[in-house]
Structure 1
């Protein structure tokens, strides 16, 4: 979802220009601060303000934005003329986060808006983390209750047949522990891991961090984050409770047990999938073998019909030779030549059709490989 930017400018063409420059974002325009505040918008990530022609001093505009509860924490970028050092100090003191001098450089404005939005998102993450910590404090469980949650989690994942179900069970458990996390896991043959997050999506930085750290040890700690690794799973905790030593110790132990169980279930899902594929392949081999048997049966029938036709041709030929007025030796010679030719054709036909014995070793080899080296009945 693109970031949301509000442009405050009394001149419509300026609002349109800034909207075009920031077209990769969700841009809303207002001609004055009062109109914007009346809209009730409190989800914006950045405000771009040009106070020229708004009828109020810059200090008054900044004060209105900073005192209103919906906009107090939103970064403000000021666009103005002749921003000397005194003016810059004044607007910073009044609560502006950054500024752009006219005429402004497009790339510079875009970069500053991007930086302001990152700042806003970071502040929201901090607020979310604080809220999660507060909620965890109110809903804190005793050690025995936490162990009970883990036991129920293990019972739940034993019935999970898909990675999505396993991930949802794990993230739900971590939520009850007051943790904000990203879970990744690999199935056999996957080129990239599957990612699951409390936030709904995983950032490229988080994905890169988990991939890079997967071979770095069982537990890696950095800042407020902790990465727990197992062969086919990884867990990134984004709000590790270091401030509560007792709770942190319990959480650390729980994570080792929980992720070990999740990793074992991922491995068993891999095994179950291989067995399903093996059964499917064995069914295919059995179907092919039956098809070959059916083909061989039809060939045997065709050979019998060919032999019968040959005998009929021989009988008809004898009858026809009698009408040609040939003496006995000539008849036998003519009949012998024709029968030798028919016999030769029959041999060539049988040689071309008799491929069952050649295919049988191939079918046995395929069946042996599919069954994993086990002899099948």
Structure 2
């Protein structure tokens, strides 16, 4: 056993005490006392796991010792094995954990002591299992509580509409872990930093961040931790290095928290980029739509003017043909050509422009992408 049984033997029979010592050698630690008073002094110095009391001590000392230990709140749970004379078997107040009628053969005493050793080992094993279970339960509850901080950040981060709000939320999470440090955000040549004490970032801490931003994902130096992503660096300056279990959880949770910050920053940058693109599309739609309207008006005016000019020319040709004295057949042919030309010009003027129609289709598609354009 890693922690052997600690046994007090109380008896005035030195030979009996020697036999008990020999049997328990290498199995338990034994202290022998010849009186109840000496045993009580020994208990005050070092509380035993069990006591073997001979109730036949002079002046009823054995029974008084038995009752004194049972009546003491601090010592009532000490295991008691009693050697009891026959005339004391039915005595009031006798509350032994185990009892042997005396005188008893050595074989019976040794059997009882071996049973006590087995009981002690079983209890020690149960205590170890209970301590392990308590530690596991405590560790699990602590881990769940710490992970809950990260989950809370992730759920609230969707309501953040700018990088400053994300930084504040991340710093609040670090404070819940009782950590000190800073959240450093970078994007498009700009940056924003926020510390857990809401003060300015110390020069040496800024140097540490800038020097280690490109050296790896997670860097740990003494009590400092640096976690890097493309748009964020989280610096911790008071790692709990004295608690290895909590240190591991803190390292993992801060890395997860930093990854959540990175994800939200990327989302905000994408939203901003999409907003700029949408605004550009809306501006283009507005300009193209006005240009199409103007083009349509100009095209229709040009076609109507062209048609009027062509008709005037045709009329002048018809009048000239009457005065030129042409042969009737030639004049009819020329007039027929002019009539056909007039019809073709009319068809051209009456048809909408193909370019105008295609541009209208483009405008409608862009309006679908950019939303309704207010006139």
Would you say same fold, with TM above 0.5? no
* TM-score, normalising length: structure 2: 0.44
Q: TM-score, normalised by structure 1?
A: 0.44
